[in-house]
Amino acid sequence: MQVVVPFAAGEPKTRLAGTLTAEERRAFALAMLDDVLAAIRSTGREPRVLSTRPIDIDAPLEVDSRPLTPAVNDVFAAADSTAIVMADLALATPTALERLFSAEGDVVIAPGRGGGTNALVSRHSEFRVDYHGTSYLDHLEIAAEIGASVTELDSHRIATDVDEVSDLAEVLMHGTGTARDWLLDAGFSLSVTGGRVSVTR
């Protein structure tokens, strides 16, 4: 099984623009990518990165400047089975990823909070992705159309992609890698107001 981690190198994590500078967002995005790659390697697999432009990363790199959907769909042809794991899953652990990789089914989908598809495995030659909109529901539909069996991976760690400020609290609470260290070094800490957890800097 090939394991591919797409990375949008241009202007990553724009929804954190109110909290982090453009340079900080790039550094934080690269820290999360590092963590995801390390967690995949700990399962005994060798990931490669599919980036929209060249980046300095210690992993096999493929550059494809197209949008995510066509770039990923071209990747499927290279192997009988493919795993696509998003680069901003800062809570992903080897245990959670092993559950993904070893789950049975023609297609394994790990939904993200908000209807996205944070990770998937395809073992079906006709399966194609469509990351626009609520891709979780779209992927269920695409799988049904081609008669592919679907397994849902139920994981909070993989469902949590880091897009918004509230997600940073999840990284501080549950992260174990360089992205959490990066946030701590940048001065972030948990704060609880009115029974709800957030972060302060």
Eight-class DSSP state of 122:
E
Identified binder of a second copy from the candidate list 111, 117, 175, 180, rule CB under 8 A: 111
CA-based nearest residue to 62, from 71, 70, 191: 71
184 belongs to the binding site for a second copy (CB under 8 A): no
Binding segment for a second copy (CB under 8 A), chosen from 28-36, 43-51, 61-69, 113-121, is: 113-121
Identified binder of a second copy from the candidate list 96, 121, 143, 168, rule CB under 8 A: 96
Identified binder of a second copy from the candidate list 22, 78, 115, 184, rule CB under 8 A: 115
What minimum distance in Å lies between the beta carbon of 188 and a second copy?
15
Answer whether 54's CB lies under 8 Å from 139's CB. Answer: no
Nearer to a second copy (CB atom), residue 154 or residue 185: 154
Nearer to a second copy (CB atom), residue 14 or residue 125: 14
* Residues 163-182 contacting a second copy, CB under 8 A: 166, 169-170, 173-174
d(CA 49, CA 132): 21
| Residues in the chain, total | 201
Binding segment for a second copy (CB under 8 A), chosen from 25-33, 38-46, 59-67, 156-164, is: 156-164
CA-based nearest residue to 121, from 95, 97, 101, 145: 101
Nearer to a second copy (CB atom), residue 122 or residue 155: 155
User: Which residue matches tokens 């990789």?
Assistant: 101
Identified binder of a second copy from the candidate list 134, 144, 184, 201, rule CB under 8 A: 134
The pair phi, psi for residue 166, each rounded to 5°, is -65, -25
Identified binder of a second copy from the candidate list 80, 154, 181, 185, rule CB under 8 A: 154
The gap between the terminal CA atoms of the chain, to the nearest Å, is: 41
What are 58's two structure tokens? 């210690």
161 belongs to the binding site for a second copy (CB under 8 A): no
CA-based nearest residue to 8, from 157, 159, 163, 167: 163
In single-letter form, the type of residue at position 138 comes to D
* Residues 10-69 contacting a second copy, CB under 8 A: none
Nearer to a second copy (CB atom), residue 125 or residue 198: 198
